[in-house]
Structure formats: structure tokens, C-alpha cells
Structure 1
Amino acid sequence: MKIIKKINYTYKKEKILNQVTLNLKKEEVDKLGITQTDNKLVFSFKNNIIKVWKGEILTDERKETNEKLIELIRNYSIKFNKAGKYMSYKLVIPIPVIVALNYPKEVELSFTKEQEMIVEVKKEGIKLKKAKVITMKINKGGTGKSFLTVQLGAGLASVGKKVLILTSDSQNNILDYTYSDLKRPEFDGGLKEFVKGREGEILKLRDNLFYIPLESPNFTKNFIRDFPIFLEKEKEKYDYILIDSTPTEKLDKVFVKCSDEIIIPCLATKVSVQGAINVVNEIQEIEKETNKKIKINSIVVNMFENIKEHKDYLEKLTNILENKDILFPVPIKKLSLIETLLGKGKTIWESEAKILQETQETMIEIIKNI
């Protein structure tokens, strides 16, 4: 028989998660065969199932992948608390375990063996579909990462998908591409506040399209450590999360590890084409390191001009990608109309000009490949 239990979350004043507990009854503690003086248990977490049994192990073990806990086994004990003549019994659940379980509200408790308790997330409480995380990445500036992020986000939002844009660019160029100069919004707190567990600001760019701005370019070790935890929570709220990544080595690698897909924008120049090839090789190394498949959605040539240098490097990149499973759509041409739209804070989807049709079709092809 399975017993439904509510998970108790307690927070510090700054809204940072402090402790997670599961209240037990005396008869449940008795089934574990423990008392306040004989309180030696083993706590195990594997395959999203918690098991607790009477006993003791010699060494703790912990296993993570992509900076997320997947296995844990350690010595443990139940908390016995007495208030007057009443005794309470609490199982404290490690926060990394709760993060791995996606912060459930309720669990199912059962006893299948003598002195062993099993805790599972209620099946109906599991969210089957989470946001797909897509990062724009290249280790060079000026290739149009922010431009592509906005256009893809606006395109997905226009067909009813709920999209969140994140950035590691403290200049917040995303706002320049979505607001005119006079209407560019101010903000007090952004991504760093959210990662700390506090409340920042979420700006609505368009219907279904949201953006969390960045306050400053300095990233602490705590930010880099806690960003994946924040991202997991946000994945419950959106269909897609797009990351406009700037070349900040440690943070950029965290973004990639958290991503389902990568889009590589580049220019038809020697340095930029080599940069795109380097990203492909880097993704392959990260896949080996994390044992996680990260799809390279596409390599997108941006600001293409009909000049010999651009045509030569476009041909070179075409030959390199010939036998690779990477989308290589028609380049996005350098158009004065695009610059005009960006200056007004408008997207390519907010114009009916025929000259933009090819650019829109390139974006649609990328979206279809997501």
C-alpha cells in the first residue's frame, strides 16, 4: 500500500531554499525498526527513487552528470523532535535530491521489505514535457547572436510557444532589438537575483516572449554552480529557453552543458568560419565529458554580402559540412531594412516587405529543425 505524503519546503528570509522534510508517523518509524537511541539508517537515491533502510555503510557515494545529482548513498538518521508530550519524526531530504526530482509537491511512501521504506514522486506529479534549451554559441563577437536569438524567439512566440530569453551580455542588447530607444525599459534586478533564489524582473518583449536581463558582467563561482538549478525550475514554465551566450569561458561551458541544442551564428570570413568549426569540435568534447547528446541544430551565416571573400568562405563551409548532420540554411543577407528594423526595436516578423522573405524562410527552416 502506498501512502501519499506532502513535501515540506522551508526558506530563509531571502527566499533561498533552506530545508526539505517529510513528516513520518510513529508506526512508519517503527516499521524501519529504529528508535531515538538506535537511529542508524542508510539513505539511497537512484533512478529517481529514494530508499531508506536500517543499517550502516562504510563509505558514502555520490554520482552526478551534467552537474545534476543522479545517485547518492550515505548514512542517515530520522530527526526526533519532542514538543511537550508530543514527538514528531522527520526525514530530511537533501536539496540536490529534490532538485533532481524537480521539486515535487507530494510523494508516495511504501514499505516493500522489512525495515525498508521507498519514497517515489507521485506519477501524476511528474511534468512530462519541459522546455527545450537552445544556446547561440560562437567564441567571437559581432556575429549576430543576439539578433538570431530575438528573431527565433519572436518566431516561436508567434506560433503560440512560450519562450524565455536569457543572456550573459550585461549590455542587454536583446532590449535594443525589441524596444525603440525611448521605450527601452529599466530594471532593478535580473538573472543574478533569480539564480540566488530571490526575485528579479522578467520583461515581456512580445506576446509569449519573455526576457530576464543581466545586471553586471561579473560571475561568481556560486552563480556558475547554481545556474543549472535555476534553469531546471524555469524549464517547467516555458516551451523553449533561448540563451544568448557571450564568450565567457566557464559560464559558456555551463550553458552548453545545460543545452539540448546549439545554434552557431558566423560570418563568411576566415576567423569566423574557423570559430564555427571550433565550436563543433568543442561540443563533441563536451558530449564525451558529460555523456549527453547535444544537437547542433544549425550553422547560420549572417550578414552575407555578394562579394568574392564571402562567397569563397561560404563555399568552404559548405564543403566542410557536406557529410555532417548539421542544418546549413541559406545565409542571412546584410540588408539595410534589417538594420532599420533593429533601430526601431522591431523583428523581421513585424514587416511585410518582400525583401525579408528569404530571411524569414531561413528562420523558419531553423525553427522546423528544433
Structure 2
Amino acid sequence: MILLIKNNKGGIGKSFLTCQIAKGLALAEKKVLVLTSDTQNNVFNMLAKGELDKKGLLASMREKKDYSLKLHNFRFLPLEKTLFVGGFKEKFNNWINGIKKDYDYIIIDSTPVLNLDKVFIDVADKVIIPVTCDESTFIGTLNIMESIDIKKILCFIINKYENTKVQKKYRALIEKWTTPDNLFIVKKSSQIEQIIESKKTVWDYKNKQVEEIQEVFYNVISKIILESES
């Protein structure tokens, strides 16, 4: 399954969510590759120290070699640059169709990059849409939903949720888009800040506060696996 984590707005926590889902699937003994359209490669920066190799997605496509690296217990293929030559879509489709047999899941941490955005949407089997409960994200997410085949949307994840009047308002609006079993809520937590600072994931901790977060991601991952095996 090719899974796209998609929202055009920054600061929602797409890379954080990608890391938790990827490692959770890997812990379930699934082979996972994470791609990104972000040249800052936030997935790498969240889980590792040091500098990346200069070769990544584009070199892998061009040279037909595997330049992915191991992050925790999944593979990550960085992006070198956002300058793409003509015919990228066809080359990317051929490349990803050639490697997807080697993985149970390919997860794409997507940012709005010219020439990449629609390519990733088209190639994805399912899309997870992370949101935060504020007006600009709400409006932006409506626009995304208009550009994606509704059948591709697997679920929504409300991230950084706080039980305030404003956030409850937008949560209620978001709940109208979907059913309860397709909506997951990750509450804002100082523990998450510490997890990110320590370059770890929720799966590396054992305490009650983190267990509540783990349960949310466990349910997301269960849904992904169920969908891919149906």
C-alpha cells in the first residue's frame, strides 16, 4: 500500500505523525519505506543526528540504486532538491511501481511542492489527512478534499488538540466530514515535545501519558493494516 500523509499547511505535525505510523507498522513486522517531498527532510531530523548523504530519491530513480537509510526500524529515502526535470511523473511512477513489491507500506510525507504534489496524490492508494482545529487549516483542508478522490481518504487525524472553545468548534465541523471510526485525535502534550527533542517515537516510552498517545496510533495503524489486507 502507498499511503500519503497530506495537508498543505505547515506546522500541523505531518512529519511527527509519519514517524509514529512508520515505526508502529515496522513494530508490527511490516516492511516500511518513507519518502518525502520536503528537502529539509524533517523525518530524518526528528529521529537522527548528523548529516544526510547527498544522494536520495532522485539518485535512486536515476541510478536504479537503493539510497534509503535505516531510521529506527524502517527505511527512509531523503529528497535532495526540488528541481525536477521533464518527465518526472512517468519516471517516478515507473520507479515506485518497481520497488513497491519490496515493501508492505510506502509512506509519503507530503508537502506542497510544485510538480510533486499531484504526482503523489495520483500514486497513493490511500490518503491520511492530518488537521489542527483552527480556521486556516479547516479552510485549507476543505480545498484538499476537493482535489482528492473521496474514496482515497482513509482517515483524518486531529493533531495538537486542546479542549478549548475554538478547537471544540472546529472539531465539531470536522466530525461532520467523516464517521467516528475514521477520525483520530492526538491531544497536545508536553510529553510529545520531549519525544521529539529526544529524537524518539511514542513507541520508545512507557508511562501512562504516552500510553494514551500510543493507543491513538495503535488504532490508526490497525485501520491501515485492515484496509490493506481487505
TM-score, normalised with respect to structure 2: 0.91
Give the aligned CA root-mean-square deviation in angstroms: 1.7
| 2:109 is equivalent to residue 244 of structure 1 | yes
Q: CA deviation at 1:249?
A: 4.3
Q: CA deviation at 1:280?
A: 2.1
Residue 366 of structure 1: SS of its match in structure 2?
A: helix
| Count of aligned positions | 224
Runs of 4+ in 1 over 4 A off after TM superposition: none
Corresponding residue for residue 224 of structure 1: 89
Corresponding residue for residue 7 of structure 2: 138
**Max Rg structure:** 1
Structure richer in strand, relative to its length: 1
Residue 186 of structure 1: SS of its match in structure 2?
A: coil
Letter in 1 for 2:3: I
Q: CA deviation at 1:281?
A: 2.1
1:269 to 113, 130, 134: 134
Corresponding residue for residue 174 of structure 2: 317
Structure 2 unaligned runs (5+)? 225-230
1:344 to 185, 198, 201: 198
Letter in 1 for 2:183: F
- After superposition, residues 38-117 of structure 1 pair within 5 angstroms as none
Structure richer in helix, relative to its length: 2
1:256 to 118, 121, 142: 121
Deviations 1:28-67 (A, max 9, x none): xxxxxxxxxxxxxxxxxxxxxxxxxxxxxxxxxxxxxxxx
2:16 to 147, 150, 167: 147
2:57 to 175, 188, 191: 191
Q: CA deviation at 1:336?
A: 1.2
Deviations 1:140-196 (A, max 9, x none): 1111111111100000001100100000100000012212xxx33420200011121
Corresponding residue for residue 144 of structure 2: 279
**Could you tell me how far apart the structure 2 residues matched to 1:223 and 1:259 are?**
16
**Could you tell me how far apart the structure 2 residues matched to 1:255 and 1:210 are?**
18
1:234 to 82, 95, 99: 99
**Could you tell me how far apart the structure 2 residues matched to 1:224 and 1:295 are?**
19
Q: CA deviation at 1:237?
A: 0.6
Corresponding residue for residue 188 of structure 2: 334
Corresponding residue for residue 220 of structure 2: 366
Letter in 2 for 1:160: E
Residue 361 of structure 1: SS of its match in structure 2?
A: helix
1:297–1:366 contact (8 Å) kept in structure 2? no
Corresponding residue for residue 47 of structure 2: 178
2:82–2:113 contact (8 Å) kept in structure 1? no
- After superposition, residues 302-313 of structure 1 pair within 5 angstroms as 302-313=159-170
**Could you tell me how far apart the structure 2 residues matched to 1:368 and 1:295 are?**
17
1:156–1:367 contact (8 Å) kept in structure 2? yes
**Could you tell me how far apart the structure 2 residues matched to 1:314 and 1:282 are?**
22
Q: CA deviation at 1:359?
A: 1.7
**Could you tell me how far apart the structure 2 residues matched to 1:280 and 1:328 are?**
15
Deviations 1:70-99 (A, max 9, x none): xxxxxxxxxxxxxxxxxxxxxxxxxxxxxx
**Could you tell me how far apart the structure 1 residues matched to 2:85 and 2:15 are?**
23
Residue 303 of structure 1: SS of its match in structure 2?
A: strand
1:188–1:201 contact (8 Å) kept in structure 2? no
Identity of aligned residues (%): 37
1:139–1:246 contact (8 Å) kept in structure 2? yes
Residue 248 of structure 1: SS of its match in structure 2?
A: coil
Q: Which has the higher contact order (CA 8 A, sep 6+)?
A: 2
Deviations 1:186-229 (A, max 9, x none): 2020001112134352110122x000111112222233331111
Q: CA deviation at 1:358?
A: 2.2
**Could you tell me how far apart the structure 2 residues matched to 1:319 and 1:198 are?**
45
1:172–1:213 contact (8 Å) kept in structure 2? yes
**Could you tell me how far apart the structure 2 residues matched to 1:231 and 1:202 are?**
13
**Could you tell me how far apart the structure 2 residues matched to 1:188 and 1:248 are?**
20
Corresponding residue for residue 227 of structure 2: none
Q: CA deviation at 1:326?
A: 7.1
TM-score, normalised with respect to structure 1: 0.58
Structure 1 unaligned runs (5+)? 1-131, 288-293
1:188–1:200 contact (8 Å) kept in structure 2? no
